[in-house]
Structures are given as structure tokens and as C-alpha cells.
Structure 1
Amino acid sequence: MAVTTRTLGRSGIEVSALGMGCWAIGGPWAEGTQPLGWGAVDDDESVRTVRRALDLGVTLFDTADTYGAGHSERILGRALAGRRDEAVIATKWGYTFDEAARQATGEDASPTYLRRAVTGSLRRLGTDRIDLYQLHLADLPVPRAEALIDTCESLVAEGLIRAYGWSTDRPDRAAALGHTAPGATAVQHNLSVLRDAPELLAVCDKYDLASINQGPLGMGLLTGKYTAASTLPRDDVRGLTPGWLEWFRGGRPAPEWLRRVGAVRAALTVDGRTLAQGALGWIWARSGRSIPIPGCRTVAQIEENAAALQWGPLEPDVFVEVERQLAALRTAALRDADRPHWPRPTHPVTHP
């Protein structure tokens, strides 16, 4: 059954049930020599992708000021020129960057920087308001985050932002946001068939927050494009893999994640969906608050993802089968971990 829209938490803002992640369209940027982008990008194709998303009913676009050191926001603004009122723009602040050098430079959680950051994002996006403004510092201590609430509320009152949220995988941070911040409406966190987030979803239910899901396709693993032999280029964040990125290791797909993909592939595609569409259907079946935001940088990618809206959530029996396969994989992994690993003999073994 098709799924088309979701309500963005307690803000009442209606968005498409599928968003478009805009990290990749930021193009190259880095922290020192560590790439943080997804390699070279065709800006004209990025613009066509955003506009095609709108044509297909995708209205939520999620970016951050630091993606491409400002370039993602600029490209998104260019793509939405003349169509701004069709879109819901979500962006983030908290990390600092040098736009000219395309370098990440640190972080700033001060109210003063918050004001400066929102002004910069509005300018790059070419808009007079940001629909959802999200704190990007996932592990910021709660008292320091709470010190930003008054400024966020002022920005809402001034009409510069409509609502705000926090991009964090920490349930305690999400709960603090929901409990103390009247204008908060969303938590952005990792969620996929490969990586569930029951505690965060429970927080979203308790405080009426939208669950915006980054990594819904495992940074490409759930597209079926990558195998154990795949090697990512070194100008891609997945190629020169930083320690915080779990899906890839040493520029290759991590074997444990590929095993999980293999375990669920048949169930996710049993009714004719592509693997990516099945993975998105799992997220919609998992929670009525979920809004996956897979990254896209080509028209073909957004067309495949948007087609998942017509498939809708996985059927209950398919969802149960996916969970059964994952449970069996976990059981096998625990059994293998407990099994003695005898040393290999150093001489040939013969049998009578």
C-alpha cells in the first residue's frame, strides 16, 4: 500500500514520507587529508536530481552547512529557485568550516555562532526561512545543548526557522530535546534494516518527534551495488575510511555488514521491489514516524528511491521474515563466537 506523507513531529509540517539526503551533492571537502565527501560530483546533474525529486512528490531535502563546506546548500538553493514553496528544507549547524579551502575546521556550540550559522545558511540556500534547523553535534553534553534552546526559540519567533531538532544517535540527548525544547520536532538518527534503533524510536513516540533516518541504505550497501571485491576511490569518505564510519573498512564493504545484506536480500525483494526499495519499505513498516533520507546525486537514483513510495511499507509477513533472517544470523554469529577455534595442523593430515 502506497505511503506518501508524514507529519514532521509536533510541528504539524507535512513532508513526503521519503526525503532526499544532500550530503553527496556537496562534492569534495575534507578534514586535513581525510575526505569527507563522496568524491567529484556533477552540479548540473545534482540540480536535475533535486528537481526530479520534486516532480516525483519528494518534498523534504536534508543538508548541512558543512556538507561540501557550504556547497551542498548552494546547489540545493540553486535547484529550488522558483520552486521554494514546494520544498521543506532541513539543514544543520554546529561544525565550522572554511568554504574557500573546502576544509572542516572544528565545531562551535555557542549561541553567537548559532546566529551566525543560520544567517550563512539562509544566504547560501537563497531563502528567507529554514523549515527544520538541526544541531549537528551528536554528542554535545545536554547542558550545552539546552543553552541553545532560547536562541532557537527566538529564531522561530523571528520567522527565520520554523522548527528545530537534533542529529544524534544518543537516546539521552533525544529525550532531553523532547522534554525541554518546546519548538523541537525531530531527531535525525541512523536507522536501517541493518541497524535498528528501538530506544530512539521509543523517545520519538514519547515526545511526538519525527524520526528522520540517515543511512537508510547503509551508505550504498543496500543498493546491491557493492560486493566483497569492491574498492571505493580514495577521494570518497568510504574509500579512505575514517574510524567513525562503520559500513566500510579500509575502503571496502565491511564483511559483517555484507553478510547481513545477504541474509535479508531475498525477503526484501520477494514481492518485486528492488533491494533499495525493500530496505525503505522496512523502515516505513518499522515506525509510522520514520522518514528515510537516502542520499542521491543522480536522477536515476532518486527515481528508484521515489518509486518505493508506491510500494509502501513491507507487508507484515515479509517484515516478520526479515526479522527472522536477522535473528538467525545473530544466533549463528554468537554460536561461531563461542566455538573453539583449534589451531591448524602444521603437517599434512592423512586418513585411513
Structure 2
Amino acid sequence: MESIEKTKLGSQGLVVPLIGLGCMGMTKIAGMDIYGQSDEAESIATIHRSLELGGNFLDTADLYGPLLNERLVAKAIKGNREKYIIATKFGYEIDDKEQLTWQFNGKTAYVKKALERSLKNLGTDYIDLYYLHRLDPNTPIEETVEAMAQLVKAGKVGYIGLSEVSSATIRKAHQIHPLTAVQTEYSLFERGVEEDGILNTLTELGIGFIAYSPLGRGFISGEIKSPDDFPENDFRRSIPRFQGEQFYKNLDLLNEIQKIADKKSITASQLAIAWTIAKGAVPIPGTKRVKYVEQNIAATSVALSEEELNRLEAIIPLGTITGDRYDATTLATIDR
């Protein structure tokens, strides 16, 4: 197994590679393709190739499928569980018929129920990093985190984290049980965590930062040249950032990013990943193809000078309007 450089995630003891593998696109969610069609055999091969290259940090969630993604991960890691660092998430309520209710549930009883279900689906007796996927507006964060803390005490969870939460929520949660990581969308096209002071809060409290969608949901790869290039059943069609005039404005920005990548003889995706690492994040780009996991992992050895970082950020300065990252209904569910 080759080795990627490792980093401490937060200050609670978890050590991970500089890059993780987002598994969301390997299965549908409620019948909808995420980033086009997936193939189970190719997805499992991607997880195995990632491990060969030292990429043993996998990110999944019970939402994905629902439940199907964890089961796919279980197939991939079978017989090698101890070689992987597994992160999964709960919080989108899934009923006993394995259907999403599209409600959020952070109540104590549900936290325990969701955890037991994830352990079963993943074919393991412990989860390395367990996240609350979205804040339940009807349950105090203190209650949810206390329930998560009990899972740590029981030895079923190693470390805990939150996803898409405000600085105020992070502070409240961290007082109940130390957080190891907070996960939020972060890329050259999405820097809300900087604008909202969340990155500063994480640095102050010694909490790690996981950047999901560091490739702008695949946009930075440059393969999507028009909104019509998204597959018909692809959820990105619902995202304002990829619609109408805004799409083409973003494409112009991407062309400028591509010029810097070309000068370094790397892909725009590799440049974007190297940027997130330089900013102190652990990116978890999602892919279900071996060739892309190889490219993504190679990006961990790309060094960016101060001048290159400044040139990149001058293309899309903080505050640049790039379009909303979710539709209005979904955006309303994010704790800000």
C-alpha cells in the first residue's frame, strides 16, 4: 500500500489521509441519480484502488440510498474493516420501511436507533467518525450530542462530528462533547464557511474541517459545458448555480482556473483539491471511477505557492456571486 501524507483531524486523536473518498455518488438517493449512473462493481473497485494508494478514509451516510450506500461500502471493506477509517452520518429520518420521511431527527432514541442500523448495514461493530448530517430544528443540539457522546462511551463510535452547522451550534455542541470534525460544502465556488466565520471558529476550538464537493459537484472537472450536459435524472439540474446565465458566468471563471492548472501541467480538479488542502481542509471528493480516484489522490502532492493561491482566489474573490448551492427548500434546512 502506498502512503498519502496524513494529518490530524481536529485535536481528539483521529489521524486521516490528506484526502478522503466521498461515496455518495455510488448509489441513488430516493431513486435519483447523483452525478449520473453508477455501477456497483466499478464503485467497489474504486474503493479498493483508493486503499491501495493509501486512501482509506471513506465518507458515507444512511441518507444515501437510503441505506444502500452503507451496504455497498460494507461489501467493499469486507474482510479488511480494520484497514479503513469509516465516516457515516445520520439525521435525515428513515422509517422502519427504509423510506426517507424527509424530516430531521436528532432525538436521543433516534440517534441510538440510527447508529445500530448503520453498524448493521456497514457490517461492523464500530464507526470511526459519526456525524449529525443536518441539525434537527426541533431538538436541542445539546440533546443530540449527548446521545452521540453516549455512543462514544459505549465504544461504538470513535469520534463525532456535525455537518452544515453555524458557529453558534458548533460552540454549543463542543461544550457537551468535543467535536473532531465539521463537514460543509467548500470549494473555489463555495466559500460560505469563510464568509460566515465558521473556519475561524473551528481553528479556535481545534476542530477539523472536512470539505465535501471540493470540485463544485463535478463542475470544476470541466466536463460539463452546458446545463444540458447533466444527465436527465441528475440532481444538479435543481441547483441554481448550474442554471441559466449563472452557469455560463461560472464557466468563464472556470476557464481562468483552467489556465493556472495548465501552467502547472495538472487538471483543474487537481488544482482545486490542492487549494482546499492548502486552506487547511481535508477534502472528500466523490467519485465512482478508478481513474478519477487516482487523479484525486495524486493532487495531494501538488504544492501551491502563496502567489498561486492569491492568483486563484483573485479569480473568485470572497463574496463573488456564483449562484445558490441548493434549491430554496433545501437551503432553508441548513443551520446558518
Matching residue of 1:272: 265
Q: 1:179-328, aligned counterparts within 5 Å? A: 180-196=175-191, 197-198=193-194, 199-228=197-226, 230-239=228-237, 241=238, 245-249=239-243, 254-287=247-280, 290-311=281-302, 313-327=303-317
- 5+ residue gaps, structure 2, are 322-336
Query: Out of 149, 154, 159, which is 1:163 matched to?
Result: 159
- Alpha-carbon distance in structure 2 between the residues aligned to 1:36 and 1:133: 25
CA contact (8 A) 1:37 1:67 kept: no
Shift of 1:151: 1.4
Q: Any idea what the Cα deviations from partners look like across 1:143-184, whole Å, max 9, x if unmatched?
A: 611112221111101110001110015232233333x13232
Q: Structure 1 residues 29 and 229, CA, compared in 2 at 3 Å: closer, same or farther?
A: closer
> Aligned-pair distance for 1:324?
2.3
- Given the alignment, which residue of 61, 64, 89 partners 1:64? 61
| Alpha-carbon distance between aligned partners in 2 of 1:121 and 1:329, rounded to the nearest angstrom | 38
Q: Deviations over 1:217-270 (max 9, x none)?
A: 00011111111364312322113x1xxx343237x9823332321232212342
Paired letter, 2:198: L
* Separation (CA, whole Å) in 1 of partners of 2:306 and 2:83: 33
Q: Is the 8 A contact 2:227 2:243 kept in 1?
A: no
User: Per the alignment, do residues 229 and 213 of structure 1 end up closer, same or farther by CA in structure 2, a change over 3 Å counting?
Assistant: closer
Matched, 1:145 2:130: no
In the superposition, relative to structure 1, how do residues 328 and 21 fare at CA in structure 2: closer, same or farther (>3 Å)?
Answer: closer
- After TM superposition, the score normalised by the length of structure 1 is 0.83
Aligned residues: 316
1:46 is aligned to: 43
Gaps in structure 1 of 5+ consecutive residues: 332-352
Query: Using the alignment, how far apart are the partners of 1:23 and 1:229 within structure 2?
Result: 21
C-alpha change, 1:228 and 1:17, in structure 2 (3 Å) is: same
Q: Quote the offset at 1:71 in angstroms.
A: 0.6
Matches of residues 72-83 of structure 1 in structure 2 within 5 Å?
Answer: 72-83=69-80
Q: Report the secondary structure of 2:155's partner residue.
A: coil
The percentage of aligned residue pairs carrying the same residue is: 28
What SS does the aligned partner of 2:286 have?
A: coil
Task: Name the structure 2 match of 1:338.
Answer: none
1:102 Cα offset (Å): 6.0
Does the CA contact (< 8 Å) of 1:29 and 1:37 recur in 2? Answer: no
What is the alpha-carbon distance in structure 2 between the residues aligned to residue 329 and residue 207 of structure 1? 25
SS of 1:319's equivalent in the other structure is helix
1:130 corresponds to: 127
Provide, for residues 8-59 of structure 1, a one-character-per-residue CA deviation record: whole Å limited to 9, x for no partner. Answer: 21221111110011110123524xxxx3634432111111110111011112
* SS of match in other structure, 2:93: strand
Residue 306 of structure 1, CA deviation: 0.9
2-structure distance, mates of 1:166, 1:214: 13
Q: Report the CA distance shift for 1:28/1:177 in structure 2 as closer, same or farther (over 3 A).
A: closer
CA distance in 2, matches of 1:194, 1:187: 19
| Alpha-carbon shift at residue 4 of structure 1 (Å) | 1.6
TM (norm. structure 2) is 0.86
Q: Paired residue for 2:104?
A: 107
2: CA distance, partners of 1:101 / 1:37 = 19
**Take 1:328 and 1:206, find their aligned partners in 2: how far apart are those partners?**
21
Q: CA RMSD in A?
A: 2.5
What residue in structure 2 maps to residue 8 of structure 1? Answer: 9
- Radius of gyration: which is bigger? 1
